[in-house]
Chains A and B, each alone.
Chain A
């Protein structure tokens, strides 16, 4: 028995040495990504696919030796339940666990709460899909926007609407989030810059379901708008669209990536002709189509929107930045990400250089035709057309 204990002690001592030994090694060859994301709650529909996409990139990169071919990537995924306070707690935990890069939830409030903690620690971070460009100022110089920013989507849609010959716009906003409140206004601003005019702006509340009052008003507008732009998403968008068409309004309807969902195309006749932007459309033969296939093979179910692709892209950006920075030092990594220029990713090209940490990335314009999403164009908007972020 005694002997046993001795042996045990020796083993424990050995283990301790090994444990002290490994972190030193790990620091050199490990890249720890701390995902403080929402696997439950209202942000789960957006954070979950983004993390899934990132996991595919991590698997692929690790099969080739890790980030930049030499840093084995470890994903630490924690659920913040779409909760602001929980996000800041989890970010602190992840930093304590040695995270080199932090990934934040898809909405402004939790992203700011967690972001300020990571900013203090000097750790570069991305939000899965918070699209408010002003977060770079609210959080600080370690924060990078990952998804297509609101200003970019608004400007792209406005440019396209003008190209389609539409000249009178009605905007439907909800002040409840910056996304639903400001994106249509960015659209309106660029639409007017390009010679169009905004005839009226209406508001709605999340989950109001009943749009009869708004729709009755739109139907009585004079002049009638020829395009209605909104960033409403489910369940508001389908309800609004149905009631709008039922009221006999035939104006074109433009939306943003919030309606990039099978529900929209599944609405039947009412959704015919709806135009919306997202981060990418899997045109056959492109890298994005290959990613959609890889996703389906990895998760054994088809991918139905582009969030996963931007999660994948985010990992490619990080891997490239590690290569440039030559290590995981926070400040060096931040500078390397900020200098990313024309990096090839699954959705096209991405550049952070001279864009104040809001990426220039391809935006896909799509139209619903015959119950299916069809690709219209993929473009990178010129930065001089971008409105000021509110």
Chain B
């Protein structure tokens, strides 16, 4: 019995890690622009297609293709910012939000019409989906990688934000963008960097997501971005550690409810997990780590 519990906790940690990466990607852009980028999921789809194109069509070695796909995700995020978001930067939040939805829909149609409406299989090396046994506990390679990547990404991001000039500028921008600009920090650089990092995080989580599902399809970005949104709101909009905490909490809630609910209640588990989240938000309206003044 305790083995079963330990196994489920491990499962929850691995799932939470992916949600945390996703949430961080959204929170990154939100902290600078105060906008949720709903086209974030499409960056994951980009990563998947890039991976297929580089590894299957061009025949690149798998690892090289994976890292190149990360770069593609980061570059496309920066490109989307330049093409779509910069022209509407001064506009109202509603306009920006609608722009993110528009980008997401346009990319869906582009993927469906120029790539394929059907899912395309990704050849994932066997070792990546293998499992190891440790005293009755099964640990999947992918689960280990999820956890590892989350930890490395968190440490890397913290170091970047604390110790680099651009990182400092981004933290300042998150506090008050106008004052930061008056201090001589170029707005474009801060924003493009935020998008590129967000794209890189989408690439990381996109790879983990694709490795688990084995295929890429045009609409695959929708569910993850929704989960990420929940994680970010739960953790507190604008707070990067909050996004991570929210992601892990969401992962735990989902796995534990699925494991513990009696079978007649199982179909309601999403409703139950969302009700729990709403209860938390009623008690803490700004999220777990959100600050009241962070709302701009």
Contact = CB atoms under 8 A, between A and B. Distances in A.
A262 interface: yes
A61 B108 CA distance: 35
A45 B118 contact: yes
B185 interface: no
A269 interface: yes
Interface string A190-207: 000000000011110111
Nearest to B215: A263
A359 to B, nearest CB: 25
Contact of B212 (A39, A44, A220, A242): A242
B118 to A, nearest CB: 4
A338 B181 CA distance: 73
Interface string B219-230: 110110000000
Chain A: number of interface residues, binned into ranges: 35 or more
Given A45-B119, A261-B119, A263-B121, A213 B259 contact: yes
A42 B213 contact: no
A242 B129 contact: yes
Given A235-B217, A246-B131, A246-B138, A44 B112 contact: yes
A48 B214 contact: no
Contacts of A266: 121, 123, 214
A206 B143 CA distance: 20
User: Which of A203, A214, A261, A262 counts the most B-chain CB atoms under 10 A from its CB?
Assistant: A203
A220 B112 CA distance: 41
A234 interface: yes
B34 interface: no
A220 B4 contact: yes
Contacts of A262: 121
Contact of A246 (B140, B217, B222, B256): B140
Contact of A214 (B109, B112, B258): B258
A217 B259 contact: yes
A238 interface: yes
Given A40-B108, A202-B263, A203-B267, A246 B129 contact: yes
A263 B119 contact: yes
Interface string B192-217: 00000000000000000100111101
A202 B214 contact: no
A269 B125 CA distance: 11
B15 interface: yes
B113 interface: yes
A247 B210 CA distance: 20
Contact of A238 (B209, B213, B269, B270): B213
Contacts of B270: 205
Contacts of A235: 119, 213-215, 217, 220
A238 B211 CA distance: 10
Interface in B231-266: 254-256, 258-259, 263, 266
A268 B126 contact: yes
A381 interface: no
Interface string A22-47: 00000000000000000111101100
Interface in A199-253: 200-203, 205-210, 212-214, 216-217, 220, 234-235, 238-239, 242-243, 246-248
Contact of A200 (B126, B138, B263): B263
Contacts of B120: 263
B11 interface: yes
Contacts of B131: 246-247
A378 B102 CA distance: 46
Contacts of B118: 45, 261, 304
Contacts of B188: none
B7 A207 contact: no
Nearest to A271: B214
B168 to A, nearest CB: 36
Interface string B257-284: 0110001001101100000000000000
A138 interface: no
Given A45-B217, A234-B119, A266-B214, 20 more contacts: A40-B109, A41-B112, A207-B222, A207-B223, A208-B254, A209-B209, A209-B212, A210-B254, A212-B15, A212-B255, A213-B258, A235-B119, A235-B213, A242-B212, A242-B214, A247-B131, A247-B138, A248-B138, A263-B215, A268-B126
In the A-B complex, the 10 residue pairs with the closest CB atoms = A212-B11, A235-B213, A44-B117, A213-B258, A207-B223, A238-B214, A266-B121, A263-B121, A213-B259, A263-B215
Interface of A: 39-42, 44-45, 48, 175, 200-203, 205-210, 212-214, 216-217, 220, 234-235, 238-239, 242-243, 246-248, 261-263, 266-270, 304
7 contacts: A238-B215, A246-B130, A261-B119, A263-B120, A263-B215, A266-B123, A267-B121
